[in-house]
Amino acid sequence: MKEAVAGTLESGDIMVTIGPGDGLQVNLQSSVAAQFGRQIKAVITETLEGLGIHDAHVEAVDKGALDCTIRARVTAAAVRATGKDVWKD
Amino acid sequence: MRNSKLVTLEEAIKRSGLKDGMTISFHHHFRGGDKVVNLVVDKLAQMGFKDLKLAASSLSDVHAPLIDHIKNGVITGISTSGLRGALADAISHGLMKEPVVFRSHGGRGSAIASGELKIDVAFLGASSADELGNACGYSRSENAKSICGSLGYALPDARYAKHVVVITDDLVPYPNMPMSISAADVESVVVVDSVGDSSKIAAGAIRDSKNPRDILLAKQAAKVIINSGYFEDGFSIQTGTGGASLAAVKYIREEMINRGIKASFALGGITAHMVKLHEEGLIGKLIDVQSFDKVAAESIKNDPTHQEVSAVEYASGQHLGSATHALDIVILSALEVDTQFNVNVLVGSDGIIRGAIGGHQDTAADSALSIIVCPLLRGRIPCVVPKVTTLITPGKSVDVVVTEYGIAVNPGRPEIAEKLKAAGLNIVDIKDLAAKASSIIGQPDALPFGDKVVGVVMNRDGSVLDKIYNIVE
C-alpha cells in the first residue's frame, strides 16, 4: 500500500488520505464533529473493511459530506492506495 | 458657533457623567464596517472605566476586540440582537459571567421606550452632524466620508438615553437638515476620522446568490406569495437577509408586472432590490429602519417617499402604530425550523452563537403571512429538525416553510394550504421533511452543552423565550 488521496476541501466534501498502517487508525477533522464525528468514522471504517482493508492509516478532513460522498471518497482513496480496482469487477 | 457642543471624545465622556456600572449604547448601521464601538470602548478602557453594560442594537465580526475588554472587566454585560465571529465564539464558550441578553429589533425599541432597558450614555455614529448635534446617516456635503442611510436603530437611544453623544466624520454647517437625530436630544458632538466603512455594510449575512438551490427556493417562495391570497394590488412586503429571500423579489417583480399589481410599501431592512422596484413604480413607499446596502442608503437621502423609521415605529409589539402591524407578507430565512414551526436564527447547529434575531420575531408575529425559506440541509447540517437548538420565533407566528423538498404549511392556517394545493404546489407535512433530513444524514449526537447560561433570548413582549448554554470542547 502506498499513500493516496481522494476528495477536496470544498463544502459538502471530504478529503481522505490513506496510507500504510497497523490496524485501522482513523484521524478525523470535521466541521460537524460534535454531532456527526462518530458516524463519519464508522462509515470510513465500514467502507474500508468492506474492501477487505484492515491495516491502514487514514487522515480525513470533512466539510460536512454526506455518507454517500464519504463512501465514494474512501473507496477512491483505497483503490489508489492499493492499486486494486474494485469497480472493474 | 455659540452654544457649540463640539468636544473631544474624552471630554464628551467626562461631561456625560458616565460611571462604573452604567449602561452605554450603540447602533449597528455600519454593520461589518462599524468603527464606533471599538473606538469608544478602547477610550473608556484607557480612561479606567470598569463594569460597563453595553447595549448595542447588534454586534458582528468586527467587534472581536471586545473580547479583551470583557477579560479586563471593562465590559461586564451585553445586550444585542446578534453576535458573530470570534466574540460570539468566545461568549458561547463561557467568556462572560453575565449572560448576554438577546432582543429583536422591535423588542429592543420597546424595552428602551418602556424604560426596561435604561441607557445612561448613547454613543451614536452619524455620517453628518452640525455643532449642535443634528445628525444623519448620510451627508449632503462634498466632504462626505461615509454613508449608512437610515439611523432607525439609533433613534430610540437618541430619544430615551439620559445623555447622547453624536460621533461624526463629517461636521457640516448648522443646520444639518433634514436630520434624523435632533439637536434637542444631543449633549455632545465629537468629530473623528471615520465612523464606519460603508463598503462593508452589505457584507456578511446579505449576499446576492447565484447558488442554483437558492434560486429554486426563491422561485418556490415567489409561487407561495403569488398564490397565497395576499398578492393583490396594494399589498405590502418585507424580505429578510439570506440569498433565497432576496432572490425571491426578482420573481415577484416579474409577476407584479404581468398582472399589473403594485405594492403599497416595502418595509424593513431595505436593499437595492427593493429600491429598484420602488423606482420602477412597482412599490409606492419604502419604510426603512436599516439600509442594507449603499444603494438603499443613497435612496433614503434622495427620495422623499423612502422614509426612515425608528425601531419602535418599525416593529414594536407594544405600539399598535408600528409598521409591522400593517405588513402583509414577510419572507425570512432560518438556521433551523422544527416540526412545531419554531425557528432558530441565532445559534448554529454546533451550539455556537452565529446570527441575530433582527426583526424575525417581530415581522413573523405581526405580518398576515410569514414565509420561512431554508434548504432541507446545509452540507450535513439539517435545517428542518425535530426541535430547534434555540427558540427564537415561536411556531404560532410562522405560517409557511419553503424547502427544496416541499412546502409545509402551519396546521393553524388551513386556508393557505388549500390555496397553495389548488395552485399545484407540493405541500408536505413538516414532520416528513424532518424525517427526510434525518434519513439522509442520520441521527446527530447531542451537542456538548455545559451548565452555564451564556445567553438569554427575550420575546418581543419582554418575556424570556429560551436560554443558551455554554459549549464545552
Indicate the residue type of B202. A
Residue A33 banded pLDDT, cuts 50, 70, 90: very high
- What are the pLDDT digits (tens) for A34-75? 999 999 999 999 999 999 999 999 999 999 999 999 999 999
Asked if residue A80 has pLDDT above 80, the reply is yes
Give the tens place of pLDDT for each residue, B72-103: 999 999 999 999 999 999 999 999 999 999 99
Which residue on chain A is closest to B351 by alpha carbon?
A: A34
Mark which residues 380-399 of B lie under 8 Å from A by CB. Answer: 380-381
* Chain B: closest CA distance from residue A1 (Å): 31
Q: What is the CATH number of domain A4-82?
A: 3.30.230.10
Mutate to test the interface with B, among A13, A14, A36 (most CBs of B within 10 A): A36
Residue of B nearest to A68 (CA): B440
Q: What whole-number percentage of chain B has pLDDT above 90?
A: 92
What whole-number distance in Å separates Cα of residue B101 and Cα of residue B109?
Answer: 14
Q: Which residue has the cell 465622556?
A: B13
Q: Given CB atoms, is A66 within the 8 Å cutoff of chain B?
A: yes
A42 touches chain B (CB under 8 A): no
Query: Is A32 in contact with B447 (Cβ distance < 8 A)?
Result: no
* CA B287/CA B331 separation, integer angstroms: 16
User: Which residues of chain B make contact with A41, given a CB cutoff of 8 A?
Assistant: none
Residues of A in contact with B351 (CB under 8 A): 34
Q: Which residues of B touch A38 (CB under 8 A)?
A: 445
Say whether A66 and B381 touch across the interface (CB within 8 A). Answer: no
pLDDT tens digit sequence for B241-250: 778 888 899 8
Closest-CA residue of chain A to B446: A35
pLDDT-based confidence at B1, cuts 50/70/90?
A: confident
For A1-22, write each residue's pLDDT tens digit. Answer: 999 999 999 999 999 999 999 9
Stretch B457-469: mean pLDDT: 97
Which helix (DSSP H) or strand (DSSP E) does residue B40 occupy?
helix B36-46
Cα separation, A47 vs A49, whole angstroms: 6
For residue B69, pLDDT beyond 90: yes
The domain limits of chain A are 4-82
Q: In this predicted structure, what is the pLDDT of residue B262? A: 98
- Residue from the list B378, B380, B448 with its beta carbon closest to the beta carbon of A36: B380
Neighbours of B11 (CB within 10 A): 12
* For range B107-134, the mean pLDDT: 98
Q: What percent of chain B has pLDDT over 70?
A: 99
Chain-centre distance of CA B339, in angstroms? 25
| Gap from B360 CA to chain A (nearest CA, Å) | 26
- Count Cβ atoms below 10 Å from residue B240 Cβ, excluding itself: 25
Residue of chain B whose Cα is closest to the Cα of A66: B380
Task: Decide: residue B171, CB within 10 A, 0-12 exposed, 13-18 middle, 19+ buried.
Answer: middle
CB contacts, 8 Å: B379 with chain A: 11-12, 31-32, 63-65
Work out the average pLDDT over B27-56: 98
Query: In chain B, whose CA is at the least distance from the CA of A37?
Result: B445
Q: Does B351 touch chain A (CB under 8 A)?
A: yes
Q: Are strands B283-291 and B306-308 parallel, antiparallel or unpaired?
A: parallel
User: Which residues in chain A are contacts of B347 at CB distance < 8 A?
Assistant: none
CB A58 within 8 A of CB A44: yes
Mean pLDDT within B404-423 = 98
- pLDDT, one tens digit per residue, over B285-316 is 999 999 999 999 999 999 999 999 999 999 99
3-state secondary structure of B325: helix
How close, in Å, is residue A10 to chain B by CA atoms?
Answer: 10
B380, B381, B469: best mutation site toward chain A, by most A Cβ within 10 Å? B380
Binned at pLDDT 50, 70 and 90, residue B203 comes out as low
Buried b (16+ CB within 10 A) or exposed e, B407-422: bbbbeebeebbebbee
Q: How far apart are the first and last CA of chain B?
A: 58
**Average pLDDT over every residue of B318-342:** 95
CB contact under 8 A, A36 and B440: no
Residue pair A43/A70 in contact (Cβ under 8 Å)? The answer is: yes
Q: Which value does ipTM take for this structure?
A: 0.87
Is B206's pLDDT higher than 60? no
- Strand ranges (E), chain A: 4-6, 14-19, 24-30, 56-62
- In whole angstroms, how large is the CA radius of gyration of chain B? 22
Q: Do the Cβ atoms of B379 and A64 come within 8 Å?
A: yes
Contact B225, B368 (CB under 8 A): no
- Report the distance separating Cα B437 and Cα B443, nearest Å: 9
What stretches of B147-274 adopt beta strand conformation (E)?
Answer: 163-168, 188-191, 235-239, 263-270
> Average per-residue pLDDT in chain B?
96
B89: how many CB neighbours lie within 10 A of its CB?
17
- B42: three-class secondary structure by DSSP: helix
Residues 399 through 458 of chain B touching chain A, CB cutoff 8 Å: 440-442, 444-445, 447-448
- Asked if residue B207 has pLDDT above 70, the reply is no
* B311 vs B152: CA distance, rounded Å: 6
The DSSP symbol for B201 reads T
Closest residue in chain A to residue B438, using alpha carbons only: A66
